[in-house]
Amino acid sequence: MLLMLQQVYSQEKEKVVPIGTDGVVDTIDAVTGKQVNPKANDFDGPITTFRIGVGFIYDFTTYAQSPEFKEQMGIANVELGPRSKTRDFRVLGSGVFKTKRLFSWKFAYMWDGDKNTWMVRETGVTIGVPELKGNFFVGRTKEGFSMIKVMNGHSPWGYERQMALDVIPILADGIKYMGYYPKAKVFLNLGYFSNLTSKGQGFATFKSQAVARVGWLPILDEKNGKWMHIATSLRYGKPKDDVMTLKSRPESNPTPQLINTGQFTTDHSFHYAGEIYYTNNRLTVGSEVISHHFYSKDSGDHTFNGGNVMVAYSFTGGTRPYNTTGGIYGFIRVKKSVFKGGLGEIEGVITYSTLNLNSGPILGGKFWRLTPMINWYLTKNIRWEFIYGFGNLDRYGIKGNVQFFESRIQFTFI
């Protein structure tokens, strides 16, 4: 979510403090309504502040395929070859109304390079509720399942989110509470979504869903750059029209969905996940494991499992801020850009992930991928990724290997 405006209310200083996805704290004085730390793209109006931003991602991909993998692609009627494409282009706006209680808004409109269409993305209003140590968001947003799913799509260390998260829709329409309890070092996100206003949208595969995510920070030492994050996500869903189709790309947006269950009958689902992350200055290690359960009175139940592990290390010493209200990491901090004589920030990442879409008579396939990559943050707004991936597809009674050679250029101005 490119303009995730996670916000808290500081009762001690009587100031609204929106914590931006770039890790910069932009303070709005609740009395004067003036921005203490404005950016060049911030505007101060009589009723609300206004910030405009844009984001752009372009991908390059080519492959080396084993004979077995080529045979699998032939069965699936898929032809893989060198390709490049715009992943997405986004225009964003956000602001804070000059009211005593925190009341902010955001809007996002995105060109989806996969579907070749414009789509309304995260859009709605946030209402601060300091009495409950958090805030409510009403509108279109991320459900709140999994840290990586909630994080701004431009900010994670990996190339794409892990495959097991493809089962969860990217957006939903409803209401969500986000709170943090500092004494207990616990955050809580709760959401209910009915999708009444998102009929016809590709992400609206459920007619309603309820989501809870709770986490604990046994280590929270911001001064020394150390913290540990442990959380779990729970989700109950009612599939649209009592049917579901699960499919996933191999963590490569230009690549088609290589595993696919086809349509099956299901009247409700339950999903749960566990996540753990540890950061010590420039090093971050973590893992998320996810289990998806679909139930049907008539055709039987099905379970699909997946997960990942990751290691990220900043060779240049850059660190990522942590947002306690949302329970997420922000953008890596760039000390000196290449346009000011610096090196920017260089981050090495290695991830392993897997998703199994086989369950009983459903043979959607199983895929795993190992991905070492380098992220070069030329500036806080420009990121260039160099990605290698080795994957294995188990489908059609054949196991085939494929290598990915990929690159991404990303511009983020928010």
Q: What tens digit of pLDDT does each residue of 264-286 get?
A: 999 999 999 999 999 999 999 99
307 CB-near residues (< 8 Å, 6+ apart)? 162, 164, 287, 288, 289, 290, 353, 354
Distance of CA 180 to the CA centre of its chain: 20
Q: What is the Cα–Cα distance from 127 to 134, expressed in whole angstroms?
A: 9
Q: What is the Cα–Cα distance from 211 to 191, expressed in whole angstroms?
A: 5
pLDDT tens digits, 76-85: 999 999 999 9
- Report the share of the chain in percent with pLDDT over 70: 91
Alpha helices, DSSP H only, in 138-200? Answer: 147-150
Least trusted range by pLDDT, from 25-39, 104-118, 142-156: 25-39
- Return the pLDDT at 201: 78
- Return the pLDDT at 375: 98
What is the average pLDDT across 353-374? 98
Whether 169 and 149 have beta carbons less than 8 Å apart is answered as no
Q: What is the Cα–Cα distance from 247 to 259, expressed in whole angstroms?
A: 6
- Return the pLDDT at 10: 35
> Rounded to the nearest 5°, which phi and psi values hold at 9?
-120, 125
What is the average pLDDT across 94-109? 92
Residue with tokens 């209402």: 127
Written as one letter, the residue type at 380 is: K
- Return the pLDDT at 115: 80
DSSP assignment letter at 69? H
Q: Assess whether pLDDT exceeds 50 at residue 24.
A: no
Q: Assess whether pLDDT exceeds 90 at residue 17.
A: no
Whether 304 and 290 have beta carbons less than 8 Å apart is answered as no
Q: Domains of the chain: which residue ranges?
A: 6-413
Distance of CA 40 to the CA centre of its chain: 26
- Give how far Cα 102 sits from Cα of 27, 93, 137, 259, Å: 12, 17, 11, 44
Q: Assess whether pLDDT exceeds 60 at residue 37.
A: no
- Return the pLDDT at 16: 36
DSSP assignment letter at 133? T
- Distance spanning both ends of the chain, measured CA to CA: 11
- Return the pLDDT at 272: 96
Higher local confidence (pLDDT), 108 or 15 = 108
Mean pLDDT over all residues of the chain?
89
- Return the pLDDT at 227: 93
- Return the pLDDT at 414: 83
Which two structure tokens, joined as six digits, stand for 236? 């109950």
CATH class in words for 6-413: mainly beta
Q: Which of 148, 127, 116 is nearest to 306 (CA)?
A: 148
Q: Is 165 left (phi over 0), alpha (psi -120 to 50) or beta?
A: alpha
Q: Assess whether pLDDT exceeds 60 at residue 410.
A: yes
Exposure string (b/e) for 165-186, b if CB count within 10 Å is 16 or more? bbbbbbbbbbbbbbbbeeeebb
**Residue 18 pLDDT class (50, 70, 90 cuts):** very low
Rounded (5°) CA angle 61-62-68: 130
**Residue 41 pLDDT class (50, 70, 90 cuts):** confident
317 CB-near residues (< 8 Å, 6+ apart)? 281, 282, 335, 345
Residue 208's CB is within 10 A of a number of other CB atoms, namely: 17
What is the average pLDDT across 26-51? 65
pLDDT tens digits, 179-205: 999 999 999 999 999 877 777 777 888
Whether 313 and 281 have beta carbons less than 8 Å apart is answered as no
Which two structure tokens, joined as six digits, stand for 225? 């750059």
pLDDT tens digits, 292-317: 999 998 889 999 999 999 999 999 99
What is the average pLDDT across 212-233? 95
- Report the share of the chain in percent with pLDDT over 90: 78
Whether 94 and 45 have beta carbons less than 8 Å apart is answered as no
Q: Assess whether pLDDT exceeds 80 at residue 96.
A: yes
CA quadruple 162, 164, 166, 169: dihedral positive or negative?
Answer: negative
> Rounded to the nearest 5°, which phi and psi values hold at 246?
-105, 135
Which two structure tokens, joined as six digits, stand for 324? 């306690």
CA quadruple 126, 17, 134, 185: dihedral positive or negative?
Answer: positive
What is the average pLDDT across 365-377? 98
**Residue 38 pLDDT class (50, 70, 90 cuts):** low
Q: Which of 228, 234, 131 is nearest to 185 (CA)?
A: 228
- Return the pLDDT at 196: 74
Q: Which of 382, 383, 326 is nearest to 159 (CA)?
A: 383
At residue 140, the 3 state secondary structure works out as strand
Q: Assess whether pLDDT exceeds 70 at residue 357.
A: yes
